[in-house]
Amino acid sequence: MRLPHLLLLTSLLGFLTPLPALAELTEQQQKVPLEVDTVDKSLAKIVILAGSPANKPGQHEYFAGCSMMVNWLKQTPGVWPVLVADGWPKNEAIFNDAKCVVCYMDGADKLAFLNPARWALMKQLADKGTGLLMLHQTVDIPAAQADDFKSWFGAVFQKDLSCRGHWDMSFDSFPKHEVLNGVQAFSAPKDGWLYNLRFADKGVTQLLSGSVPDTSRSTADAKSHVGRAEIVGWTFERDNGGRSFGYTGCDLHKNWDVESQRRLVTNAILWCAKVAVPAAGAKVEVKPEDLTANMDRKVFNTAKPASTPPAAQ
């Protein structure tokens, strides 16, 4: 007699690549203030959405990266950064009067605001001109929501068109733009990138582009542009005056050690919030211990798969 289908499926799951399970905040993370609002309306409130634990240790360290963004923003007067864990606030009132919302989390069907109610709230923010900032995989959106997303952020990753992968990228030529104040030539070694995006017809300014391995061109459209420099960082100015920024790097946590990457992202948050960016760029000082603080507890399925599938009975 054969194993029931469910039991057979369970047995075969051991052959899949282990995935991280959701974990509670670590003891260190629990000491970081979350969703702390301000009553001072003169301050530019910036809500930073840190995604739930994902990927391997050292990759997609959303909480750790976002908690550092809070510290960098505190170095600019007139700003009130608010950290949110698990991709979405427990109290949605934290969005009230926000000047900018930062999204640093998994994309595609794991995006934290895909459900209709949350999507509608994001649309309300975009419609009233709230600044929006997207990092790494957040630009990967299911086809049904792609047009909306492109109208908010100026670009969208589409799996039948766009590509992704890991490689070194270097940036040494920049246009003149407030977001690039104080940003010097920099490299992001072995980072993860998404490119060949669908861009809006107007309002987009290319900030960062570079060469990609042509072997990474996995779609027909991407293969038609062999050798082309690909855009991985941009700004977008919406018709209603709202501002957006996207950067598809930031997969590897260790690259926050690069001062110009920190400054690029912090400048962009200020710009999206319509806070003046200092001529020399935002202050983004870090201590060595900051770069290893608040890392997620990545919980994996560590059971070793059998060398061969179980025989049917």
Per-residue pLDDT reduced to its tens digit, 11-29: 333 333 344 444 589 999 9
8 Å CB contact between 179 and 264: yes
Predicted local distance difference test score (pLDDT) of residue 296: 92
Rounded distance, CA 99 to CA 78, Å? 12
Residues 6+ apart with CB under 8 A from 17: none
What are the residue ranges spanned by the domains of the chain?
26-35+43-298
Rounded distance, CA 72 to CA 259, Å? 11
Rounded distance, CA 262 to CA 256, Å? 6
pLDDT digits (tens, 9 = 90+) for 158-202: 999 999 999 999 999 999 999 999 999 999 999 999 999 999 999
Distance set, CA 247 to CA 39, 51, 80, 238 (Å): 31, 16, 22, 17
Structure tokens at 24: 């509670």
Amino acid, single-letter form, for residue 216: S
Rounded distance, CA 220 to CA 280, Å? 42
Rounded distance, CA 220 to CA 162, Å? 9
Distance set, CA 142 to CA 25, 54, 93, 109, 160 (Å): 28, 19, 27, 7, 11
Phi, psi of 134 (to 5 degrees): -125, 135
Rounded distance, CA 262 to CA 250, Å? 10
Nearest one of 20, 82, 2 to 269, comparing CA atoms: 82
Distance set, CA 38 to CA 35, 43, 93 (Å): 10, 8, 12
CATH superfamily of 26-35+43-298: Class I glutamine amidotransferase (GATase) domain (3.40.50.880)
Alpha carbon 255 to its chain's center: 14
Predicted local distance difference test score (pLDDT) of residue 23: 54
Nearest one of 242, 234, 104 to 180, comparing CA atoms: 234
- In order along its 313 residues, the chain shows pLDDT tens digits of 443 343 333 333 333 334 444 458 999 999 999 999 999 999 999 999 999 998 888 999 999 999 999 999 999 999 999 999 999 999 999 999 999 999 999 999 999 999 999 999 999 999 999 999 999 999 999 999 999 999 999 999 999 999 999 999 999 999 999 999 999 999 999 999 999 999 999 999 999 999 999 999 999 999 999 999 999 999 999 999 999 999 999 999 999 999 999 999 999 999 999 999 999 999 999 999 999 999 998 875 444 443 433 333 3
